[in-house]
């Protein structure tokens, strides 16, 4: 069973880094260390926190370093396929965690 309260620690720290105008490198490094510490304590809702900061490339990079990415989520694959589990903006084809792939549609 995971720990869903990690966002109560992560979000205020990340917001403060943004508010203070921390450099991209400082945000990435601080957030990466914080994400790792929270994951070590069972944080399992990182994706929700990533969603809040998805417009900040440095914070997105910190999550990516710790294995958390915003997934594409396309559900247009074959009937036996799940949703696309690759990172948003991936190339070339969609793929789920079950090994199914399907082509990307026109943009």
3-state SS of the chain? CCECCCHHHHHHHHHHHHHCCCCHHHHHHHHHHHHHHHHHCCECCHHHHHHHCCCCHHHHHHHHHCCCCCECCCCCCCCCCCCCCCECCCCCCEECCCCCEECCCCC
pLDDT at 32: 97
What value does the mean pLDDT take over residues 56-74? 91
Higher pLDDT, 36 or 70: 36
**Of the candidates 32, 50, 65, which is a domain's last residue?**
65
28-59 residues labelled b (16+ CB within 10 A) or e (exposed): bbbbbebbeebbeeebeebeebbeebeebebb
pLDDT at 90: 86
Q: Does residue 77 carry a pLDDT above 90?
A: no
pLDDT at 1: 41
pLDDT at 16: 98
Residues 53 and 24 placed together within one structural domain of the fold: yes
Residues 87 and 42 placed together within one structural domain of the fold: no
Residues 12 and 59 placed together within one structural domain of the fold: yes
Q: Mean pLDDT for the chain?
A: 89
Has this prediction a pTM greater than 0.85?
A: no
The whole domain housing 19 covers: 7-65
2 lies in some domain: no
| Weakest mean pLDDT among 47-51, 70-74, 103-107 | 103-107
């Amino acid at each position: 069973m995971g720990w869903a309260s990690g966002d109560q620690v992560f979000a205020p720290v990340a917001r403060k880094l943004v508010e203070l105008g921390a450099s991209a490198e400082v945000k990435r490094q601080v957030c990466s260390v914080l994400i790792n510490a929270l994951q070590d304590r069972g944080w399992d809702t990182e994706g929700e926190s990533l969603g809040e900061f998805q417009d900040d490339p440095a914070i997105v990079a910190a999550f990516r370093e710790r294995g958390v990415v915003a997934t594409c989520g396309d559900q247009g694959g074959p009937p036996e396929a799940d949703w696309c589990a690759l990172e948003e903006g991936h190339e070339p084809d969609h793929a789920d965690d079950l090994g199914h792939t399907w082509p990307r549609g026109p943009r």
